[in-house]
Amino acid sequence: MKIKDIKVFICSPGRNFVTVKIITENGTYGIGDATLNGREMAVVAYLQEHIAPCLIGKDAQQIEDIWQYLYKGAYWRKGPVTMAAIGAIDTALWDIKGKQANLPVYQLLGGRSRSGVTVYGHANGETIEEVLTNLGTMIDEGYKAVRLQCSIPNVKGTYGTMEGKKNYYELQGNRPLPPEQEWSTSKYMNFVPELFKQARERFGFDIGLCHDVHSRLTPIEAARLGKLLEPYNLLFLEDAVTSENPEGYQIVREHTVVPLAVGEIFTTVWDAKVLIEKQWIDYIRTAITHGGGITPLKKLADFAAMYHIRTAPHGAPDLSPICFMAHMHFNLWAPNFGIQEFIGFGTPELNDVFKYDVELKEGLLYMQDKPGLGVDFDEEAAKKYPYKRSYLPVSRLEDGTLWNW
Ligand code: CS2
Ligand code: MG
């Protein structure tokens, strides 16, 4: 089954998404997500100029060999641009193989390990009261776990809040230049424990609560935050420290038992290797798109399972419904699946372009069996939403020092 054509689309139904479509000589096609927030066009060029010409005429069934060809054959390995491009190709090939076998992709991975996919939603707000109101709504909707993010008093712009926008897509799709946000570790550290104290006082301990630090703390600061949050029994604390130096997590681990989740910016298993082998983390967050596809993510999950580590795939608004559906199959299969981040079913514009069918019931996602990934991309609809350059914010300390956003 030879690859006849590879198309790359970039559209912006609210925010930018990069989509790959691989078409075989008999007309079967598969799709993949290649979105890299704020650097989308780099991945488009990598796909169009450097990957597509090499794959025309190759056998679409040889998923593993094509992955090795794209990873090792590039010479320059790893990195977000390369691996998002490879991830989209790999995902599209699994979609094709499922369609060819007339099976949902999870059946090709090893079948179901569970009936539904447990998710955690997002409750955020400008004040603790607003966050708790949103948390209460999600508990009423049946969520088993919720991530809490709140603006910090006297700090301009805080990660994870809407800044007055109606949804994440409006927020992320309208940044013609990188917005500058302020950060104060001391104001943050003095404030966050109160958020979780009040959440537990009002809603008890049955609901899973997590929090994304977004790599803003030093290891000893993260250790202190972990200790401060221990009474509130978090499901996990995410990205407590930047992960370029994995030994930073050794320091956090020595001081606190709060479960740690890392990995949304990882692009290969090598980024996670030390953290996993040393058991310095509890959840690995790498997404199929940014992690190079289903092929390497299956290997990463099995490696993590040897060290008691669960998967908790990244599920932010900058991962398209194609990645979301690939995660559905991955999560139904993975024996060490932990939980899936879920920010809802998107907007009318998003669903105008991406077609998929998933149901949320009592905090779990369910999908109907369809051949392949069970998601489609409407090329004509996508034309209505042209690409619009948009950036992630940058963060500065109150004295102007550039900091981790
Ligand atoms: C966040 C992401 O969902 C999360 O855990 O870390 O929303 C992250 O900010 C974006 O993916 C950045 O593009
Ligand atoms: Mg995160």
Strands 17-24, 3-11: pairing kind = antiparallel
pLDDT, residue 318, reads: 95
Active site residue 290: no
pLDDT in tens, 73-91: 999 999 999 999 999 999 9
CB 367 within 8 A of CB 358: yes
For ligand 2, the distance from its centroid to the CA atom of residue 146, given in whole angstroms, is: 13
For ligand 2, the distance from its centroid to the CA atom of residue 54, given in whole angstroms, is: 34
pLDDT, residue 159, reads: 77
Using DSSP's 3-state secondary structure scheme, residue 264 falls into coil
Question: Which ligand 1 atom lies nearest to the CA of residue 37?
Answer: 13
Q: Report which protein residue has its CA nearest ligand 1's atom 13.
A: 37
pLDDT level of residue 204 (50, 70, 90 thresholds): very high
Substitution site in 264, 265, 390 for ligand 1 pocket (most atoms within 8 Å of beta carbon):
264
CA 261/CA 212 separation, integer angstroms = 9
Q: Report which protein residue has its CA nearest ligand 1's atom 3.
A: 316
pLDDT in tens, 11-34: 999 999 999 999 999 999 999 999
CA-nearest of 12, 16, 14, 10 to 46 is 10
Note the pTM of the prediction, 2 decimals.
0.97
pLDDT level of residue 55 (50, 70, 90 thresholds): very high
Helices (H), 245-404: 247-255, 269-277, 294-305, 321-333, 348-353, 379-382
Active site residue 214: yes
pLDDT, residue 320, reads: 97
What are the structural domain ranges in the chain? 3-103, 108-372
pLDDT, residue 30, reads: 98
pLDDT, residue 277, reads: 98
Q: Which residues contact 393 (CB under 8 A, 6 or more apart)?
A: 157, 175, 178, 179, 180, 181, 405
The reply to whether ligand 1 has any atom less than 6 angstroms from the CB of 376 is no
Domain 3-103 in CATH 3.30.390.10: yes
pLDDT, residue 64, reads: 98
CATH superfamily of 108-372: Enolase-like C-terminal domain (3.20.20.120)
Residue 141 has pLDDT above 90, yes or no: yes
The reply to whether ligand 1 has any atom less than 6 angstroms from the CB of 16 is no
- The residue-averaged pLDDT of 42-53 equals 98
For ligand 1, the distance from its centroid to the CA atom of residue 243, given in whole angstroms, is: 15
The reply to whether ligand 1 has any atom less than 6 angstroms from the CB of 341 is yes
Q: Report which protein residue has its CA nearest ligand 1's atom 2.
A: 316
The reply to whether ligand 1 has any atom less than 6 angstroms from the CB of 212 is yes
Q: Which residues contact 248 (CB under 8 A, 6 or more apart)?
A: 218, 219, 222, 241, 242
Question: Which ligand 1 atom lies nearest to the CA of residue 285?
Answer: 5
